């Protein structure tokens, strides 16, 4: 076997982390779907809710950036979430041409349910991460 | 806005972690592809290499389990990686009916290249994780 510069103990830790991550993403998806949310829609709600802390309201462009998807994909995602009653668009108070995206009460509740249901899995992932050293 | 049991500071931290994770997985994919590996094939090599530490050689069933994919998908993945010269199958010394999967020299080198190229991104992900508190 040829010598490589890779530290085997690091590979072991990273492999363990990747396995834990795969399990986490899989359970996230299952729990989101059980609450009627696609994984992408759950992430959309998470990003909007996560920004609301700093009383920040995100535009579709901000969301495209945070979700690392194309602007057109983000527009479509927001439109469909709006049709599903999860988010609403409001005109930016600073620039009426810019639409900001907010959670509706239904979006808020649906998000909170999935987020709470994932609490155990987040703890497990945290343990796997701590094992990374 | 209805009251929910969700801790907003936790949502902010989780949203930040998810954004960092998305970036990490995206860069992983780019770097794997640049070295001629699909993301799935890179994970396959990572799991095989990660197990070799304990002088453990994995069967296709073990790999299906670790990668959380169906046995038939794992068989197909291993077969195609074998055709690409990245892995080889050997008969288990304990049970000749069971095939174990090893990295070839080429698989070893290709894996090491991607793994090393991802070192900075792993550090960034670690920082994002530490910010989770």
Give one DSSP letter per residue of B66-104, joined into a string: HHT--HHHHHHHHHHHHHTTSEEEEE-SS-TTSEEEEE-
pLDDT band at A96 (very low <50, low <70, confident <90, very high): confident
pLDDT of B56 over the 80 cut:
no
Q: Which residues contact B38 (CB under 8 A, 6 or more apart)?
A: B32
pLDDT band at B133 (very low <50, low <70, confident <90, very high): low
For residue range B95-113, list pLDDT tens digits in order: 888 889 999 999 999 999 9
pLDDT of A93 over the 80 cut:
yes
For residue range A12-59, list pLDDT tens digits in order: 888 888 888 888 888 999 999 999 999 999 999 999 998 876 667 899
In the structure encoding, which two tokens stand for residue A133, read together? 């050293």
- Does B116 sit within 8 Å of A5, measured CB to CB? yes
In A, which residues are within 8 Å of B8 by CB distance? 49, 52-53
Predicted interface score ipTM higher than 0.85: no
pLDDT attached to residue A3: 47
Q: Closest Cα partner for A45 from A118, A108, A131, A93?
A: A108
User: Radius of gyration of chain A from Cα atoms?
Assistant: 18
pLDDT attached to residue A133: 59
H or E stretch at A59: strand A58-59
In the structure encoding, which two tokens stand for residue B61, read together? 């069933």
For the residues B30-34, what does the mean pLDDT come to? 95
Which of A50, A66, A116 has the CB atom closest to B5's CB atom? A116
Mean pLDDT for chain B? 88
For the residues B5-22, what does the mean pLDDT come to? 84
Task: Please tell me if residue B14 touches chain A, with a CB cutoff of 8 Å.
Answer: yes
Kindly provide the residue ranges of all beta strands, DSSP E only, lying in A1-133, ordered along the sequence: 58-59, 87-91, 99-103
More confident: B126 or B113: B113
pLDDT attached to residue A132: 66
Q: How far is A97 from chain B (nearest CA, A)?
A: 25
List the domains of chain B with CATH numbers.
Answer: 8-130 (1.10.10.10)
Task: Please tell me if residue B3 touches chain A, with a CB cutoff of 8 Å.
Answer: no
pLDDT band at B86 (very low <50, low <70, confident <90, very high): very high
In B, which residues are within 8 Å of A105 by CB distance? 1-2
Beta-carbon-side half-sphere exposure of residue A96 (alpha carbons within 13 Å): 0
In the structure encoding, which two tokens stand for residue B76, read together? 């197909």
- Beta bridge partners of residue A99, listed in sequence order: A91
DSSP conformation class of B5? S
Q: How far is B8 from chain A (nearest CA, A)?
A: 7
- Does A19 sit within 8 Å of B66, measured CB to CB? yes
Contact at 8 Å (CB) between B37 and B46? no
For the residues B116-129, what does the mean pLDDT come to? 86
In B, which residues are within 8 Å of A67 by CB distance? 22
pLDDT of B2 over the 50 cut:
no
Residue of A nearest to B26 (CA): A68
Strand order in the sheet with B87-91: B58-59, B99-103, B87-91
First to last CA, chain B: 27
For the residues B66-83, what does the mean pLDDT come to? 94
More confident: B89 or B7: B89
């Amino acid at each position: 076997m040829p010598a490589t510069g890779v530290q085997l103990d690091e590979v072991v830790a990273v492999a363990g982390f990747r396995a834990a991550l795969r399990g986490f993403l899989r359970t996230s998806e299952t729990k989101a779907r059980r609450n009627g949310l696609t994984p992408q829609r759950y992430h959309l709600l998470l990003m909007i809710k996560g920004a609301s802390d700093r009383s920040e309201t995100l535009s579709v462009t901000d969301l495209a950036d945070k979700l690392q998807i194309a602007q057109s994909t983000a527009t479509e995602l927001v439109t469909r979430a709006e049709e599903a009653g999860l988010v609403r668009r409001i005109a930016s108070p600073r620039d009426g041409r810019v639409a900001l995206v907010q959670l509706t009460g239904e979006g808020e509740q649906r998000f909170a349910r999935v987020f709470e249901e994932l609490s155990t899995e987040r703890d497990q992932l945290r343990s796997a991460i701590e094992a990374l050293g």
